Amino acid sequence: MRKTAHAYGFHEWRTPIFERTELFKRGVGEETDIVGKEMYTFEDRGGRSMTLRPEGTAAAMRALIESGLLQENPVQKIYYIAPMFRYERNQAGRYRQHHQFGVEAIGTSAPEQDVEVIDLIFTIFNKLGLKHLQVSLNSLGDPESRANYRTALVDYLKSHFEQLSPDSKTRLEKNPLRVLDSKDTGDKAINAHAPSVLDYLSPASKDHFEQVQKFLKELKIPYKIDKNLVRGLDYYNKTVFEVVAGELGAQNSITGGGRYDGLLKLLGGPDLPAFGFGAGIERILQTLLKQEIPLPTPYKPILFLIALGDAAKERGFRIVHELRQTGIPAQIDFSGRKVGKLLQAADNLGARYTAVLGDNELQNERIELKKMDSGEKMEIPLPQLSHYLQKEIYV
């Protein structure tokens, strides 16, 4: 994630785990599920209401505003990898503390910026080896388009009010676009015939959306239009998207985001356009596992050194220090366990080689390496140990 973000010109930011509660009420929206149901909020010793960060965008925007960087350069491209906290029912891919990789591109309203950000996360997924992926795409238009659509949607949903689920009845009054995101079977049947936001786009919003599709096609990124895709946060406008994978069941989105051109101004900053996403790392890991894609190999030492006696421990301590300084993973045991137990410990760790260092080895300045998978043994002069093991790093 970091390597790809850097290749696309983004640099890493880190913000506090908690922020003033008002930031999320203003930035995310008081009627959203996050603010209404899912935030961990507490009062600090100064009597201020603070909240554990439930999402990354509002916090990143607050940090950008306070840093003053936007006055120096209104075009900023940042990313973060950070824990988020939401009080919700645990289910596949959802945890009360989860981790997000997020990207925020500030200062550019061009449709190419939308596609660059979508391309970034799609490139990461391709590098990870994920399969069966597709972008779900929609446009919420500019504020005027969205207001006109909201009126039409409310009129339609009110005609089916008695058939809506209890949650959707509440959402209809507070945040009607969220009804389109309902997972309830009855709501889905009603939403299937709801008016499409795409029919209410202003000419400028429609052109922007068409350009986004054009550039996605040029980059050969597979997508489909989902007229009911609205995302759960108030700050979105124009392009919204998700990347979905079939292996996660109902919770099949592994990233989502969109354009939020008015958020910086709402939070007291300059009126600059922005586009971003948040990708749940636990969701990505689940998808990798379900698609049986190999994960990176856990840490394994190249050498596990067993030192017998005080003099050997002293020399062995220096040896593993020198090996580590040259980038060779090495371990030495200080527990005083018997050799047989230590050989078993080395095997459990997946060590490539073991070696016993005792009085004879110290006297002769030679040590015997044992290759754990084959049992092959070889004697190496102690001064050449680092040189011999260096080539093993790349095997």
How confident is the prediction along the chain (395 residues), in pLDDT tens digits per residue? Answer: 999 999 999 999 999 999 999 998 887 776 666 777 788 999 999 999 999 999 999 999 999 999 999 999 999 999 999 999 988 776 665 788 999 999 999 999 999 999 999 999 999 999 999 998 999 999 999 988 888 988 999 999 999 989 999 888 888 887 888 888 788 889 889 988 999 999 999 999 999 999 999 999 999 999 999 988 887 666 788 999 999 986 555 557 899 999 999 899 989 999 999 999 999 999 899 899 999 998 888 889 999 999 999 999 999 999 999 999 999 999 998 888 899 999 999 999 999 999 999 999 999 999 999 999 999 999 999 999 999 998 876 65
Q: What is the DSSP letter of 230?
A: -
How many Å apart are CA 167 and CA 314, to the nearest integer?
68
Tokens of 379: 């004697």
Instruction: Tell me if 205 sits within 8 A of 222, measured CB to CB.
Output: no
Q: How many CB atoms lie within 10 A of CB 381?
A: 12
Report which of 200, 201, 257, 203 is spatially closest to residue 229, judged by C-alpha positions: 257
Structural domains of the chain ordered from first start: 2-142+202-290 (3.30.930.10), 303-394 (3.40.50.800)
Instruction: Tell me if 149 sits within 8 A of 176, measured CB to CB.
Output: no
How many Å apart are CA 202 and CA 8, to the nearest integer?
31
Q: What is the pLDDT of residue 248?
A: 56
| Burial (CB count <10 Å: 0-12, 13-18, 19+), residue 308 | middle
Report which of 220, 232, 108 is spatially closest to residue 175, judged by C-alpha positions: 232
Q: What is the pLDDT of residue 112?
A: 98
Q: What is the pLDDT of residue 183?
A: 80
The residues pairing with 25 across neighbouring beta strands, listed in sequence order, are none
Q: pTM for the full model?
A: 0.84
| Burial (CB count <10 Å: 0-12, 13-18, 19+), residue 200 | buried
Tokens of 320: 């593993």
